[in-house]
Amino acid sequence: MALTTVRSSAGGKRREESAGPLTPKRYDRREAIAGYLFISPWIIGFLIFTLGTMIYSLAISFSHLNLATNLMRPAGTSNYQRLLEDPKIAASLGNTLFYAVLAVPLEICFALFLASLLNRVRRGAGFFRTVYYLPKMTPAVATAAIFLLLLNGNTGAINQFLRFFGIAGPQWLVDPAWVKPSIVMMTLWGVSGTMVIFLAALKNVPRELYEVASLDGAGPVRQFFSITVPMISGAIFFNVIILTIAAFQVFDQAYLLFWRDTSNASPEASLFYAVYLFQQAFQQFNFGFAAAMAWLLFVILMILTAIQVKVGNRFVYYEGDR
Amino acid sequence: MKKKRAALVAASVVVALATTACETPSGSDTETGADTSAFNAAASGTLNAWAFDNADDVGQARLDYAAGKLSGVDIKLDATGFDAQKFTTRLASGDVPDIVQMDRAFVGTYAAQGLLMPLDKCFSANDVDPQTRWYSSVVDDVTYKNQIWAVPQFYQPPAIILNQKVMKAAGVTEADIDTSNPDKLIAAIGKMYQANGGVPVTLGFDPQATGQIYMWTLGLGGKLTDADGKPTLDDPSNVYGLELLKRITDAQGGYAKYKSFTDSFDFFGEQNQFVKDQVGAQLDAQWYPNVLSPYAGKLQLGAVPFKDRDGKPVTVAGGTSFAIPVKAKNPAAACKWALALTEQGAWDAAGEARAKTLAKDDSINTGLFTGSPKADQELREKYVKPSGNAGFDEVINTYYEVAASGRSVGASPAGQQLKQELTNAITATLLGQKSAQDALADAQNASLSAYQTVTGG
């Protein structure tokens, strides 16, 4: 206690000597400057490597760029007009939206389920956390190779397991109706990044709240929905936004399962927006059109995120809100 | 004040964008600026070659031979594989290789974009007659707008390998595996096809539906491009092949089950589909007998040619080639190096190297399919001897017989996209998502769009 007093007093003296007492406004400004200084390396990187390239890509979207000759011919708005005319744009956006609607809720639920399980583990918690996180560490190519074996409609382990119960499993990788669910399954395999965020949030929920709720007779389900979910709503909100953005940019899984080997058939059902964008940019070298596609995706994601933030603010509880 | 500042920033961005987007090119995209007279010069200096990444015993022997022929040239070889993105980036940055090995399907695209040198003067300066040195279909693969744009190599035509064991058990003869007679073929497939619980166990015939797409279109009288390389996928002649393919896969559980089954094949391993009797017949390229060679003693093989609708043997095969970029610094050496790699002496050296390799393993020599009829024949006479396995010898002979019946896909500015769209059309048809006509019409629209993008048409 004495030490605290001394420090407080010394600090007060210094303040008086230098700039007088800190008003809330002055304190906010100092805090802001310190904050900006801390994040300045990121800001500089963002300005050079993200904002700069974004502006360049906007310029490219109004041109025909020949990468080989480095020549840019003006294209006006033709690349954007083509977005409306190319049937694959609508098809790939539809596929991507379908995937996002299916994948994001499943990822949230599955990650929260795994995090809740891990949160209850006392002995060997570190071991289980490591094991659960391993899929995230596995290269996407290796994961795809495993899923190609698992999901084979005739000989794959999943269908053989289903056959054990007399169920004829679907042709996951060939039947257009099952192509997107199979990609969602592969996505769920790598859900541990989301799980870790939930686990951290769960650890921060005060135990007293559960004890009080128990005394009031609330069961586990009531506790989950009345305490856990509100208390981790910030993490849920964050994950929903991040996963939605990731879902609209899904590429690895679809490309590795269906588009890597061009001698293989690639069902239209697996043509996601990012895959088509990649094809336009790096296989057909239509950089102008690909840049226009990228900007369309950017606008869509901005609108979706704005809606999510607007809706989310009604439900999210921020502990440190001032 | 804030509004004024925002307006100023917005105006600056718009001006910057407009300036960048409207930058006037210094020349047309398709201007080549190629100095083809340079092919007359003597080969000297440094040669930067890229993407000769298949230097096995055959490749190394040819490299050594070519190096000996160009003794005054310092050959620097980048043996990493060809990558279209890397290629264009290198051209843009000025890091231009003198010569690049690439799939022949790329040649039309780059030629149409003005990125490659036409090589007619390369041939004439070195007294090479392309029509004599290579099969005509091979030359057609790299001919765009009446000019030859690359030095072709290799040509491995497909034919149908038979599993006599499965065929005999089902009472099927070689004559039944006849692509010119669909009813007979489907009946034979039905006899050989076996399933367990709806899951295929043995296919009567694996048509390699998406792996040999040109056989099922061009090989059956289809037309994929016109004389300018413009896609013609919606030509009615292409419908027949797709409908026949659908009959073949439908007779074997449908495309989905067929595809999943073939995906599970141990294609390169000792438990391959012939050893495990998973196929009665399969359409395979000429190199595949090399995979089967170690197991020849266990197998009862045979082969028949793929036949067109008139019953005549036919084959369609691509391959690789050497192309010289427009801004190559040493085109004379590049031209001479590519020609040296594909001349008779290089193939003789390659044949000798391959024979030595095979002698060590006591394996069967199936020959080399070089793209050059003279080289193929001479190597066959010298190295391909009866193996003591009549069925396997029949396989080898069949490939030699069909080699002269080749048809070319042709060089198209939309070559890669055309292939992808045709594959998609076949898949959609076989899955029953679209009729063959509709699938081909959609594929035509997409590939035509790619064609117009490349040609600016």
Q: Tens of pLDDT along A115-160?
A: 999 998 888 888 988 998 999 899 999 999 999 999 999 889 999 9
- pLDDT for B12 equals 52
- pLDDT for B33 equals 47
Give dist(CA B238, CA B232) in Å, integer. Answer: 9
Among the residue ranges A280-289, A295-304, B196-205, B275-284, the one predicted with the least confidence is A280-289
The predicted-structure confidence for A10-35, as pLDDT tens digits, reads as follows 444 444 444 556 676 777 888 999 99
| Residue A288 near residue A75, CB atoms below 8 Å | yes
- pLDDT for B254 equals 96
Establish if B435 belongs to a structural domain: yes
Among the residue ranges B17-21, B172-176, B186-190, B244-248, the one predicted with the least confidence is B17-21
From B17, B259, B446, residue closest to A62, measured CB to CB: B17
Among the residue ranges A3-7, A118-122, B51-55, B447-451, the one predicted with the least confidence is A3-7
Domain count, chain B: 2
Give dist(CA A11, CA A5) in Å, integer. Answer: 10
Flag whether pLDDT at B257 surpasses 90: yes
Q: Which long-range contacts (CB under 8 A, 24 or more apart) does B122-130 make?
A: B122/B36, B122/B39, B122/B151, B122/B324, B122/B331, B122/B335, B122/B338, B122/B339, B123/B148, B123/B339, B125/B39, B125/B40, B125/B335, B126/B39, B126/B335, B126/B336, B126/B339, B128/B339
CATH number of the domain residue B248 falls in: 3.40.190.10
- Do B287 and B212 lie in one domain? The reply is yes
* DSSP 8-state code for residue B316: E
Which residues on A lie below 8 Å from B424 (Cβ)? 265-266, 268
Are the Cβ atoms of A262 and B420 closer than 8 angstroms? yes
Model confidence at B5, in pLDDT bands (50, 70, 90)? Answer: low
pTM here is 0.85
- E-strand spans in chain A? 63-66, 71-74
The two structure tokens encoding residue B236: 């009615």
Establish if B371 belongs to a structural domain: no
Range of the domain at B141: 36-156+319-354
Please give the share of chain B, as a percent, with pLDDT higher than 90: 81
- Do B42 and B177 lie in one domain? The reply is no
The predicted-structure confidence for A225-238, as pLDDT tens digits, reads as follows 999 999 999 999 99
- Do B324 and B271 lie in one domain? The reply is no
Average pLDDT, chain A: 88
Regions in chain A scoring below 50 on pLDDT: 1-18, 322
Q: For helices A52-61 and B2-21, give the axis angle rounded to 10 degrees.
A: 60
Are the Cβ atoms of B431 and A71 closer than 8 angstroms? no
DSSP run (H or E) holding B424: helix B415-430
Give dist(CA A273, CA A89) in Å, integer. Answer: 7
- pLDDT for B163 equals 98
Which residues on A lie below 8 Å from B255 (Cβ)? 174
Complex ipTM, two decimals? 0.80
- Do B248 and B305 lie in one domain? The reply is yes
The whole-angstrom distance between A143's CA and the closest CA on chain B is 17
- pLDDT for B21 equals 43
Establish if B31 belongs to a structural domain: no
Which residues on A lie below 8 Å from B423 (Cβ)? 262-266
Q: Is B56 helix (H, G, I), strand (E, B) or coil?
A: coil
Mean local confidence (pLDDT), B378-390 = 95
The whole-angstrom distance between A56's CA and the closest CA on chain B is 8
- Do B305 and B330 lie in one domain? The reply is no
Average pLDDT, chain B: 91
Which residues on B lie below 8 Å from A264 (Cβ)? 210, 423
- pLDDT for A4 equals 38
Which residues on B lie below 8 Å from A71 (Cβ)? 25-27, 29
- Do B164 and B294 lie in one domain? The reply is yes
Are the Cβ atoms of A268 and B431 closer than 8 angstroms? no
Are the Cβ atoms of B27 and A71 closer than 8 angstroms? yes
- Do B125 and B238 lie in one domain? The reply is no
- E-strand spans in B64-135? 73-78, 99-103
Please give the share of chain B, as a percent, with pLDDT higher than 70: 91
- Do B425 and B282 lie in one domain? The reply is yes
- Do B224 and B325 lie in one domain? The reply is no
- Do B93 and B175 lie in one domain? The reply is no
Establish if B223 belongs to a structural domain: yes
The two structure tokens encoding residue B30: 């398709």
- Do B174 and B116 lie in one domain? The reply is no
Give dist(CA B389, CA B293) in Å, integer. Answer: 10
Establish if B130 belongs to a structural domain: yes
CA distances from B256 to B113, B217, B252 (A): 39, 21, 10
* DSSP 8-state code for residue B404: T
Mean local confidence (pLDDT), B280-287 = 97
Flag whether pLDDT at B76 surpasses 60: yes
Establish if B370 belongs to a structural domain: no
Give dist(CA B159, CA B219) in Å, integer. Answer: 11
Establish if B247 belongs to a structural domain: yes
- Do B277 and B312 lie in one domain? The reply is yes
Give dist(CA A103, CA A247) in Å, integer. Answer: 7
Higher pLDDT, A68 or B338: B338
The predicted-structure confidence for B134-158, as pLDDT tens digits, reads as follows 999 999 999 999 999 999 999 989 9
- Among A79, A88, A174, which would you mutate to test the B interface (most chain B Cβ atoms within 10 Å of its Cβ)? A174
Return the closest-CA partner of residue B335 out of B89, B201, B148, B157.
B148
DSSP run (H or E) holding B284: strand B281-284
Domains belonging to chain A, first-starting first, are: 85-315 (1.10.3720.10)
The runs of H, that is alpha helices, within B265-328 are 288-292
Establish if B10 belongs to a structural domain: no
Strands B45-50 and B73-78: parallel
User: Residue type at B164?
Assistant: Q
Mean local confidence (pLDDT), B341-357 = 97
Are the Cβ atoms of A63 and B20 closer than 8 angstroms? yes
User: Residue type at A262?
Assistant: T
* Number of other residues whose CB lies within 10 A of the CB of residue B30: 15
